[in-house]
Amino acid sequence: MVPEEPVGTRIAKRRHVLGLSQEELAARVGVARDTVSMWERGRQFPHRHLGKVEEVLGIALSGDTAPDATEQALISMPDLPEDLRREFLRMYRESAAGRRSAG
């Protein structure tokens, strides 16, 4: 079994895939660029901003759940405005969490 990558590494890799700079990610989350840098270097964990970081990056950082096919499709829809994409992801994740807890 391959060990899971550190959260900071996952943040940095996903940020690069999305073509975001640290400054852009920081602005979208509402933190300073230095904060993003510390997350990526493993010096801090984004506890308070975890939900927003996950939303902006379109990945789960807590737990062991990777985006499923529906989430991945929503994340990669280039013509969907960002605010709608975030809202659809939020609604989908809430609905998926409800199905898991009911199941």
The dihedrals phi and psi of 77, each to the nearest 5 degrees, come to -90, 100
- Residue whose token pair is 């079994």: 1
Helix (H) or strand (E) holding 101: helix 82-102
- State the pLDDT at residue 11: 95
The model's pTM is 0.61
CATH superfamily of 1-63: lambda repressor-like DNA-binding domains (1.10.260.40)
- State the pLDDT at residue 86: 75
Please give the chain's pLDDT, 103 residues, in tens: 445 788 899 999 999 999 999 999 999 999 999 999 999 998 988 888 988 999 899 888 876 455 667 776 776 777 778 778 778 877 877 776 656 556 5
Tell me the CB-side half-sphere exposure of residue 94, using CA atoms within 13 A: 7
